Amino acid sequence: QVQLVESGGGLVQAGGSLKLSCALSGRTFSDYAMGWFRQAPGKEREFVAAVSRRGGSTYYADSVKGRFTISRDNAKNTMYLQMNSLKPEDTAVYYCAADRALAGSYYYRRSEYDYWGQGTQVTVSS
């Protein structure tokens, strides 16, 4: 069974940076397309970024494009989200997600992911 564990969340001032990590265990990491989603209080979970199995293809929500970078290290079974120029509206619980995929594919719909982590809180103060 796939298990996902996020880490790296915390409290940061506006304009600051954080790097989230998501470790996958239980299956072969490189078989899975990966994604990041976030959920703010009172709002639905929304797509943030996605990466294909080998990391060659990435896709971002418009709200984070140019500020966030998704990456993965298949040797370490870990995906990352580097978040720069953080804004108070980036405050949310961040979730990583995984799904078996064809090479080169990535997904941005929640329904396309079968596995989810427990989430990590990111709070950006103004």
Q: How far is CA 88 from CA 14, 35, 98, 119, in A?
A: 6, 22, 27, 18
Task: Quote the distance between the C-alpha of residue 78 and its chain's center.
Answer: 11
50-59 tens-digit pLDDT: 999 999 999 9
Mean pLDDT (the chain) is 97
| Per-residue pLDDT, 101 | 87
Query: DSSP of the chain, one letter per residue?
Result: --EEEEE--EEEETT--EEEEEEEESS-GGGEEEEEEEE-TTS--EEEEEE-TTSS-EEE-TTTTTTEEEEEETTTTEEEEEE-S--GGG-EEEEEEEEE--TT----SGGG--EE---EEEEEE-
* Structure confidence at residue 76 (pLDDT): 98
Backbone angles phi, psi at 106, to 5 degrees: -145, 160
- Mean pLDDT, rounded, for 98-120: 94
pLDDT of the residue at 103:
85
For tokens 């329904």, what's the residue? 111
Residue 2's pLDDT is 95
pLDDT per residue over 44-94, tens digit each?
A: 999 999 999 999 999 999 999 999 999 999 999 999 999 999 999 999 999
Are 74 and 16 a contacting pair, CB within 8 Å? no
Q: Tell me the two tokens of residue 68.
A: 């966030």
